[in-house]
Structure 1
Amino acid sequence: MKTDIRHLLEKAHEKHVPVDIMYMDQRQNITQRTIFVKTVGEEHVEAFCLLRHKHRTFQLDKVLAVQQRREIIENQQAHTWTQFTLGIESYDAART
């Protein structure tokens, strides 16, 4: 099952599309997040979280489910896409 989660996250990264995840936080609360995946590591996923409007690191073992989004987020969150793309550019520049 975790390989399916990893596979869906990797596909979302390759296609540059958002995915919905169910995630258990440190307090054992389950939240739903929409994220743009930046990288998928062995134990973590780095992504831009639309709920928090920030880059976040999620532990893979706490990702309970992943669902691909059929539609691209537009209109109400168009500004978020701009923040996301600008954030990726500055994130990439900081890593090099």
Structure 2
Amino acid sequence: MTDDQDARDQARRQYWQGRSRRSWRCPRCGRSYGEVDRVDVHHRDGNPHNNSPENLVALCKRCHIGGEHNREVDDDHLTPPSPGYLGPPRPRNLGPGP
């Protein structure tokens, strides 16, 4: 196991200590633990070795990869972020409702 992988595992353990997955919701999109493919623990400052509680936030995989790291996301309900945009993914305008 690499040092970075070990640091990520430690961050996951620390974040979930004393927290319930049952009551978790992604702070960006609001989906519950049961509605997402994966939950990632993100380091707000980008330093995988800074596991202080205020530096850790759990995001669903799509919000973490697409919103925080500006990578392509495959989700019809989210638009990829603009370059340099650090806000939450926005729902697409899917046209008029039923």
State the TM-score bracket (shorter-chain normalisation).
under 0.3
Say which structure, 1 or 2, has more relative contact order (CA 8 Å, 6+ apart). 1
Q: Calculate the TM-score normalised by the size of structure 1.
A: 0.25
Task: Pick the structure with more helix per residue.
Answer: 1
| Pair member with larger Rg | 2
